[in-house]
Amino acid sequence: MLTAVGFASVYIAGKSQISGASLTYAVFFLGLYLAAHIVARFTVPRADPYLLPLAGLLTAVGLTEIYRLGPANAFKQGLWIVISVAVFAATLIGLRRDYRVLESYKYLFGVGAIALLFMPLLPGVGQTVNGARLWVRAGGLQFQPGELGKVALIVFLAAYLREKREVLAQGRLKDWGPLLVIWGAAMMVLFVTSDLGSALLYYGIFLGMLYVATARFAFVAVGLGLFLAGSAAVYEGTPHVRDRVTNWLHPWTTHPVYCPLTGGTALRQDCTSYQEVQSLYSIAHGGFAGTGLGSGTFTNSAGQKIVPDLNTDFIYSALAQEIGLIGAAALVLLYMVFVLRGFRVALLANEGFSKLLAAGLTFGFALQTFIIIGGILRVIPLTGITLPLVSYGGSSVLSNFLILAGLMLVSDRSNRELEGDA
């Protein structure tokens, strides 16, 4: 509760700096948070007490920045948060007795994940945004089913690996079959939709969970080897990927180079790497203390946006400019604490499925954070993916609240059993 009040006051302070009218957002958000908190109190009373406040804080930071970048989007995001909290509450209520029933439906989750990933490719409902076909349109809302697919795939992997972990460790091909089929199908779909960020994420989650389940580092090594070989092949074969790597290694050129966007020649920083480079400028402009919330520079003197997609993939560069190194480091620390609590849940869980589920959800959360922020900071090549809980995007918020629900369910159960034993 204390944390809740603390974060709310931070939130209000942050908002009032922009305008008094946005206080309604703060009050509304606080109410929503309290509702989530009360549901959690009743359904999972023994759950880790840090997870929900941390998630709330990250969501609040995201909503604040989205509001600052475009109030209209903040309203939509708010709507999605309401839906997410509702789904979060429903999940907690529905699975409060024993979430382990999920284990029996593992193939349903596996096939479901593929189906969700495949949905945007279906004619009629599929939507192409920014060259990637990742969206589904239903009614007035756009939705990225791949985000839910991620959670479903983690459930499948946790259940399957729990059941087969001993035999998998022996390396019998027969047992690998279903695993490789579903996982391979997921990777295929991701490459067809050219969703490189998610492909990287799924691959990482798969290797991480496989390692936890089998304790065979050799599998990870083989996986990484295959990854490198696969990357090399993809690099040779796909200009899209080649561009990303080139932009990563040499974002600045001193002489004009071929620019695929215009067909002419231009400095690379004015062409394909424009977004990456301007995003770095945005971060650098923040400096140590930042410009202050609401005082950042994101439009040019003609009123046009400097960095496209600022509230989704690039929200970290907006935040880093306005809250500076201090704020950005604090934000990453929040992720770190969340991840550590998540792993603590996995460690305390007393049976395989729970351990694997918690580990998969947490590792996925950490890896996704690393992939997008690392991409922005030129640690790795940039692949478009959302920053968990902070980025604008309904499906992303929803899937992260499902991750939160999963972790709280596991945590509640293991804590109850620990106390029961004692």
Q: Which residues bind other proteins (CB under 8 A)?
A: 208, 211-213, 215, 252, 267, 269-270, 277-278, 280-288, 291-292, 295, 297, 299-303, 306, 320-321, 324-325, 328-329, 332-333, 335-336, 339-340, 343, 346-347, 352, 355-356, 359, 362-363, 366-367, 369-370, 373-374, 377-379
CA–CA separation, 252 and 411 (whole Å): 47
Q: How far apart are CA 61 and CA 392, in angstroms?
A: 11
Q: Which among 218, 105, 114 is positioned nearest to 168, based on CA atoms?
A: 218
Residue 89 or 209: which CB sits closer to other proteins?
Answer: 209
User: At its nearest, how many Å lie between other proteins and the CB of residue 78?
Assistant: 23
d(CA 226, CA 171): 17
H or E element in which residue 68 lies: helix 51-69
Write down the least CB distance from residue 412 to other proteins, Å: 19
| Measured CA distances, 163 to 104, 236, 359, 363 (Å) | 11, 38, 16, 20
> Measured from the CB of residue 372, what is the shortest distance to other proteins in angstroms?
10
Given the complex with other proteins, which of 213 and 315 has the nearer CB atom? Answer: 213
CA distance 308 to 318: 11
Look up tokens 């959690």; give the residue. 40
Closest distance to other proteins from the beta carbon of 345 (Å): 10
Q: Which is nearer to other proteins, 58 or 136 (CB)?
A: 58
| b/e per residue 32-61 (b: at least 16 CB within 10 A) | bbeebeebbeebbeebbebbbbbbbbbbbb
Complex with other proteins: residue 243 or 270, whichever CB lies closer:
270
- Nearest approach in angstroms of CB 354 to other proteins is 11
* Complex with other proteins: residue 230 or 374, whichever CB lies closer: 374
Which residues 6+ apart lie within 8 Å of 385 measured at CB?
197, 198, 201, 313, 368, 371, 372, 375
Q: Beta strands of 24-175 (E only): which ranges?
A: 126-129, 132-138, 141-143
DSSP bridge partners of 132: 129
Q: Please give the span between the terminal C-alpha atoms of the chain, in angstroms, as a whole number.
A: 27
**Closer CB to other proteins, residue 78 or residue 294?**
294
For the CB of residue 344, give the shortest distance to other proteins in the complex, in Å: 8
At position 71, the amino acid (one-letter code) is P
Considering the complex, state which of residue 183 and residue 335 has its C-beta at the smaller distance from other proteins: 335
Residue with smaller CB distance to other proteins, 223 or 352:
352
Bridge-based pairing of strands 141-143 and 132-138 is: antiparallel
Q: Which is nearer to other proteins, 145 or 384 (CB)?
A: 384
* Distance, C-alpha 410 to centroid of its chain: 20
Closest separation between CB of residue 121 and other proteins, Å? Answer: 31
Q: What does the alpha-carbon distance between residue 361 and residue 173 come to, in Å, rounded to a whole number?
A: 27
Q: Which two tokens stand for residue 230?
A: 């696969």
- Min CB(288)–other proteins separation in Å: 6
Q: Please report how close the Cβ of residue 421 comes to other proteins at its closest, in angstroms.
A: 17
